[in-house]
Amino acid sequence: MAAESAKEFEALEAQATTLLDLFRRAGYEQVAPSIIQPADIFLDQIGEAIRSRTYVFTDLAGDELCLRPDLTVPVSRLYLERHPNADQPARYCYNGPAFRFRPQGDDQAHPREFRQAGIECFGEADTESADVEIVLLAVEAVRRAGLKDFRLRFGDIALFYALLDALALPERWRLKLRHHFWRPPVFHALLARLAKGERPNGDGPASALAASLTGLTTERAEELVGAYLDTEGLPLSGNRSLSEITARLLDHAADLRAEPLPREVATVIDYYLAVSASPKEAVERIAMIAKGAGIDLGGALSANTRRFERLAKSGVALGQAVFATEFGRSLEYYSGLVFQIEVAGLDEAIGGGGRYDGLLSYLGAPSAVPAIGSAIHTERLLAAVGRGG
């Protein structure tokens, strides 16, 4: 148990009351989604970092279940249960346990069972205002709990996507770079390959076959690949179809023909991902990088300028804050603003959150639902406040 002593339990309960009072008064309805969640839908959407630390088990009926490692997905599922058409805005708050396996053992800073207090905002069309609302509320929450000295770290996935969109590169490479954003070492290796003029897929044994597909229609290419499989005695089996295999060979054929990625384009991406500074400075530097590259990041950059202005006006001290373009690469469902609340001397954040506009359609919503939330690690918050934070 996270709270082993009665005293600590009472302190956590008092803190939870403070947080939930604030959230409810801000218009967030308190909910308590199930602790036990279906493993499938859950694990498919969460990144590897947390997936590998989720407690998964099979019950007596043979269903694969998990102890929720996080509350965002359970609250999102609850929203869809109440609003299957996802056609109404809703604001929820919660305080409850979450569970994560700790490879180095269970300790105070990394308990395997901990309580998350948080807020989630669904369906708010004015996304800029919702972003500001969530950050303000999260900051106000840790302040009310007694935390004085902390700093904010920001990132923005949408800004990175805007950068890729604005740069001249083949769509399949753009998709590949987007996909690998979440794994920096792979990302940088891929970028280096492309910049050196190498093909992302190298020259595997199927290169010759791929080259022979150049310029063919999809149907004709599939026929050829099917004939090749027959000749080689490789029967199609499993769930991947002939058209999926052919599609990748056609991509490969296009790669073989493509001009290498201009070195300047790779440099722009590298420069962009190296930006880490105060929000004001970071936004200026990104604007300079864009200007130097002759590209327009459009609304994605000005949205950041406005967001930081609004936060500053509302009394959030951004002097110590950091905007880091690489930040936010751990939870794959994030799609826009990401932020966390950090305390000196603690390697993990007190709380954090972000925008996840793609998650609800993955979970079954009939259309995309703008969504953003934030969660606070309550044991860490209590410890930081106790240390005079």
Q: Does 62 bind another protein (CB under 8 A)?
A: no
Judged by CB under 8 A, does residue 206 bind another protein? yes
Is residue 38 close enough to count as binding another protein by CB under 8 A?
no
Binding region for another protein (CB under 8 A) out of 70-78, 138-146, 194-202, 316-324: 194-202
Q: Which of 85, 231, 237, 367 binds another protein (CB under 8 A)?
A: 237
Give the DSSP per-residue string, 78-126. HHHHH-TT--S-EEEEEEEEEE---TT---SSS-SEEEEEEEEEES-S-
| CB 50 to another protein: min, Å | 11
Q: Does 103 bind another protein (CB under 8 A)?
A: yes
Using CB under 8 A as the binding rule, whether residue 202 contacts another protein is answered as yes
**Applying CB under 8 A, what is the total number of residues that bind another protein?**
43
- Measured from the CB atom, the residue of 162 and 225 that comes closer to another protein is 225
Among 168, 186, 274, 344, binds another protein (CB under 8 A): 186
Please state the closest distance from residue 332 (CB atom) to another protein, in A.
8
The answer to whether 205 contacts another protein (rule: CB under 8 A) is yes
User: Can you spell out the DSSP letters for 309-321?
Assistant: HHHHHTT---SS-
Cα Rg of the chain (Å, integer): 24
Q: Could you give the CA distance from residue 113 to residue 99 in angstroms, rounded to a whole number?
A: 5
CA–CA separation, 81 vs 84, rounded Å? 6
Residues of this chain, 277-316, that bind another protein according to CB under 8 A:
none
DSSP 281-295: HHHHHHHHHHHHHT-
Residue among 4, 106, 244, 348 that touches another protein (CB under 8 A) = 244
271 binds another protein (CB under 8 A): no
CA distance 228 to 235: 10
Q: Which of 47, 170, 262, 358 binds another protein (CB under 8 A)?
A: 47
Q: Which residues pair with 36 in a beta bridge?
A: 67
In whole angstroms, the minimum distance from the beta carbon of 21 to another protein comes to 39
Distance CA 280, CA 121 (A): 27
46 or 158: CB nearest another protein: 46
Residues 92, 324, 271: CA angle, nearest 5 degrees: 140
CB of 239 to another protein, least distance (A): 6
| Minimum separation from the CB atom of position 323 to another protein (A) | 26
Q: Confirm or reject binding of residue 204 to another protein (CB under 8 A).
A: yes
The yes or no reply on residue 176 touching another protein (CB under 8 A) is yes
Q: Of 117-125, 229-237, 334-342, 381-389, which part binds another protein (CB under 8 A)?
A: 229-237
Name residues contacting another protein, limited to 319-358 (CB under 8 A): 332
CB 112 within 8 A of CB 100: yes
Cβ–Cβ under 8 Å, residues 319 and 141: no
For another protein, the binding residue among 4, 10, 29, 44 (CB under 8 A) is: 44
Quick one: which of 1, 175, 288, 344 contacts another protein (CB under 8 A)? 175
Angle, helices 171-180/157-166, rounded to nearest 10 degrees? 160
Alpha helix (H) ranges present in the chain?
6-25, 39-45, 48-51, 72-82, 127-144, 157-166, 171-180, 184-195, 207-212, 218-232, 242-257, 263-273, 279-293, 299-313, 359-362, 378-386
CB of 189 to another protein, least distance (A): 8
SS3 at position 258: coil
247 in contact with another protein (CB under 8 A): yes
**Which of 179, 220, 306, 387 contacts another protein by CB under 8 A?**
179
Q: Which among 35, 8, 327, 336 has a CA at the least distance from the CA of 154?
A: 327
Which residue type occupies 257? R
**249 interacts with another protein by CB under 8 A:** yes
SS3 345: coil
For position 130 contacting another protein by CB under 8 A, the verdict is no
Nearer to another protein, 151 or 248 (CB): 248
In Å, how far are 53, 274, 357 from 108, measured between CA atoms? Answer: 17, 33, 33
| Contact (CB, 8 A) for 144 and 35 | no
Residues that bind another protein (CB under 8 A): 40, 43-44, 47-48, 52, 103, 175-176, 179-180, 182-183, 185-186, 189, 200-202, 204-206, 209-210, 225, 228-229, 232, 234-241, 244-245, 247-249, 252, 332
